Chains A and B, each alone.
Chain A
């Protein structure tokens, strides 16, 4: 654990990506295979299931520290992170020759943390409190983070891949592929990461998704002739890869979740595809045309999809790209060729798996006219893909661009604020906004992002000084600050008092030039529904 805690600290202290990659590569090169596997597991954002809840941990911390529970609770609220609170409240007891210092990450996880699941509460408490005492402050933080299943390390998947590529001397795309899908964090897996490339790579896994960079407005100057570009609608659904093997079919979301169960009609249709095919596409709710994302969402939260939901929300996979055909990885063929192959493949099928249509225009200005129709078509704009482009990894600038429509906006009034977590702990950063309905205010959305750090600090100070009422961590503030909210769509909702729900709301601007009477009204918001 010591070595992993050191790595964590180095990653926390370093801001440059190069330094982060070096820190991880150093760790990977020196860690045992068992420890390395768990480190990859956690670094790539995977988590253990929560073993112990915050209520219990706070009680145990009160006991271990001899402080009253209410003070622990207040302190937790101030710090914003329970594991950090525990790490800081308990004093370090550097017992000489601490026997636990040398125990590796794998042993901590497998011999100490995971078995807690099988123990009674009393025994758990004893184990955890003992661990707290023997660990250093940094280790105690990590250990508790693991218990709560909330360890987040601020490195991107790409950086982990780069570090493993560096440590193993393998190309990054190979590493990326090996990290996709399901795997067990054990020594075999770790050795596999370092192994020479073979034809036996796990066949269930998707390829890393290739992503597009945002673009304001395409012109001849920035992108060259429009003929060099393949243009598609940008759909607002779930990006997915469909892996067809002889013995099984796998539908992967971009979050690397297997979503076969939520979309049985797509899985059924996939049986018609030739064996050893991998397709990239977008799952959409579709009934004669695309349905709003809110409909698709009804499919996501369910373990089992019943016949009623199947008929109410039919879905499709609109395919973009063909990545593997007849067991051959064709990602480095030019896009045009892959598109032709995809066309041929799907041509004969009449199923929920369809090709996403191309859009044609004679010039960029012509295309802009069609772009203006995006919202009425239920799409988010265009995808622009260089015809010669490979299906790469990551999100490089150049080969693929997304040209999104400008968001909808409303001027809304800040009514509640709540402290954030992690980087934003102990600052008021989670905001609720309302719009006007006659003399009253109706909440319409929560938003967390869009302000600069300096604005957040200034608003935090304002909130503390203009609190009208407190409900636990939530503060009701004087309803006078107006913010322009940007969002991608608006749908009826029973959850909000306004009867409306915004999709991807965020703060576009702090409108200090506006007073509360300048904010938008419920009627204005409802008018956006169409």
Chain B
């Protein structure tokens, strides 16, 4: 048997023919990065390659001294006999699928991706390949995302109701990607000003620096001392829930935005007033569509509901198997949903 073009090793997904890793979880010499989330972009490697729009975020994650080379989407980069190019994954700003071509064989490692509308990053671009490596975070048929515009309307309505009742609206969501995507989706009908938690603000600034148009927002800590926040929307990471930081808001109404909120049990268990279904991961129909669009005859799955997806695809006549990775938290309840 020939060696697969990309295979899992102790360091991460490895392409032996080109001697580079994709999203390695240990320090390596050459790392191609799909996007800047912590479980995909880890520090310590000698040289990184990533898509141009996400370079700011990546530098923020990896530090000033990291050696990072930017690639435009579609721009070919040779690694010995292997040609690599990056293509939009629609997950967060600068997220990329990694196309790897060697002697006519094409693999695509899609990283995390989604097919739904996102005003803050380039939309997912189907790439034809022989082998498609896909995430399976939400790979069950109950996960179908409502249009994000509908969810944004519901958030604005909830915010309006809270404002009328003199309650501060606090929306918890992932600080990188989800927060900015939601800010952009809220549109012009916002009932009041937006404030950001200290973990969200710098990432939001990096989005602005990259030319992404977002509504104005201030840091909570920079608000005037007499601000009572009762008409405001506060965007904060899930870890801020229940912390002392929350005490500054009067009678806060809290919401959580995540794909996991699709399930009623999760909504209730989180103990927030509202759960909003918004995910930066692909849903079940999007997943099947993407596999179809790739034209791949072999599908390898990473983090999430890999078992079910693999069996389903095999029954559909594709060759599918799970790939051992350390992406995600290995459980159903990571905050990144």
Which residues of chain A are within 8 angstroms of B61 by Cβ–Cβ distance? none
Residues 432-460 of chain A, each 1 if its beta carbon lies under 8 Å from chain B, else 0: 00000000000000000000010001001
Interface size class of A (residues with CB under 8 A): 20 to 34
Q: Is the CB of B263 within 8 A of A464?
A: no
Complex CA–CA separation, A91 to B141 (angstroms): 10
Residues 67-92 of chain A, each 1 if its beta carbon lies under 8 Å from chain B, else 0: 11011001100111100110011010
Q: How many pairs, one residue from A and one from B, have CB atoms within 8 Å of each other in the complex?
A: 77
Q: Is the CB of B332 within 8 A of A68?
A: no
Q: In the assembled complex, how far is the CB of residue B285 from the closest CB belonging to chain A, in whole angstroms?
A: 9
Which residues of chain B are within 8 angstroms of A465 by Cβ–Cβ distance? 330-331
Q: Is the CB of B265 within 8 A of A422?
A: yes
Q: Is the CB of A78 within 8 A of B269?
A: no
Interface size class of B (residues with CB under 8 A): 20 to 34
Q: Is the CB of B269 within 8 A of A427?
A: yes
Once A424-B265, A425-B265 are accepted as A-B contacts, the answer to whether A78 and B144 lie under 8 Å apart by CB is no
Chain A binding surface, main DSSP class: helix
Which residues of chain B are within 8 angstroms of A85 by Cβ–Cβ distance? 142
CB under 8 Å from chain A, chain B span 259-299 = 262-269, 271, 273-274
Residues 14-34 of chain A, each 1 if its beta carbon lies under 8 Å from chain B, else 0: 110000000000000000000
Complex CA–CA separation, A461 to B305 (angstroms): 15
Q: Is the CB of A457 within 8 A of B273?
A: no
- Which of B142, B264, B271 interacts with A12 by CB under 8 Å? B264
Which residues of chain A are within 8 angstroms of B142 by Cβ–Cβ distance? 75, 78-79, 84-85, 88-89
Complex CA–CA separation, A465 to B329 (angstroms): 11
Which residues of chain A are within 8 angstroms of B307 by Cβ–Cβ distance? 74
Which residues of chain A are within 8 angstroms of B305 by Cβ–Cβ distance? 78
Once A75-B140, A75-B141, A424-B269 are accepted as A-B contacts, the answer to whether A84 and B331 lie under 8 Å apart by CB is no
Q: Is the CB of A74 within 8 A of B315?
A: no
Which residues of chain A are within 8 angstroms of B39 by Cβ–Cβ distance? none
Closest residue of chain B to A80, judged by CB?
Answer: B265
Any chain A CB within 8 A of the CB of B333? yes
- Which of B140, B265, B311 interacts with A70 by CB under 8 Å? B311
Closest residue of chain B to A66, judged by CB?
Answer: B141
Residues in chain B within 8 A of chain A (CB atoms): 140-144, 262-269, 271, 273-274, 305, 307-308, 311-312, 315, 329-333
Residues in chain A within 8 A of chain B (CB atoms): 12-15, 65, 67-68, 70-71, 74-75, 78-81, 84-85, 88-89, 91, 154, 422-427, 453, 457, 460-461, 464-465
For this complex, 27 residue pairs linking A to B, each with C-beta atoms less than 8 Å apart, are A13-B274, A65-B141, A68-B315, A71-B140, A71-B312, A75-B140, A75-B141, A81-B264, A81-B265, A84-B264, A88-B144, A91-B144, A422-B265, A422-B268, A423-B268, A424-B265, A424-B269, A425-B263, A426-B263, A427-B265, A427-B269, A427-B333, A453-B269, A461-B329, A461-B331, A464-B330, A465-B331
